[in-house]
Amino acid sequence: MITIYHNPRCSKSRQTLELLNSRGIKADIRLYLEQHLSTDELLDLLALLNMTADQLVRKSEQYFKDNLRGKALTQDQLIKAMVENPKLIERPIVVADNKAAIGRPPEAVLEIIE
């Protein structure tokens, strides 16, 4: 099963979904801004991505700039912020066969699928 953590307002997310569709790859779409991730789900994604919370957080988001930038936050604090404010999570994330990749660029997800 393939899952895409998708934000339809994000051009890279739309491009990644289009890329999957164009290759006949059917993915379950998780609209993570509506269906928030739990702390455990986010921890699982971080493990699959082999990333830290600091690497996955979107530092360009307004919430980050207004509330988090310049603060010495622990990984747990960043994870809590991402769970409570899912716009802070880098996107899109595609998960397939216990592997995950961020679709930046969209073609990056093909490494875990093909």
Tokens of 40: 């455990």
- Domain 1-32+91-114 and domain 37-89, same fold? Reply is yes
pLDDT of residue 108: 97
Whole-structure pTM value: 0.94
- pLDDT (mean) for 18-31: 96
pLDDT at 6: 98
| Rounded Cα–Cα distance for residues 81 and 75 (Å) | 10
Q: Residue 65 has what pLDDT?
A: 96
What are the residue boundaries of the structural domains of the chain, listed by start? 1-32+91-114, 37-89
Domain spanning 1-32+91-114: which superfamily?
Glutaredoxin (3.40.30.10)
> How remote is the C-alpha of 64 from its chain's centroid?
16
Q: Which amino acid is at 93?
A: I
H or E element that contains 20: helix 11-22
Q: What is the mean pLDDT of residues 66-72?
A: 95
Query: What pLDDT score was predicted for residue 114?
Result: 76
The residues annotated with a catalytic role in the active site are 10
Phi, psi of 87 (to 5 degrees): -65, -20
Rounded mean pLDDT of 17-32?
97
Architecture of domain 37-89: 3-Layer(aba) Sandwich (3.40)
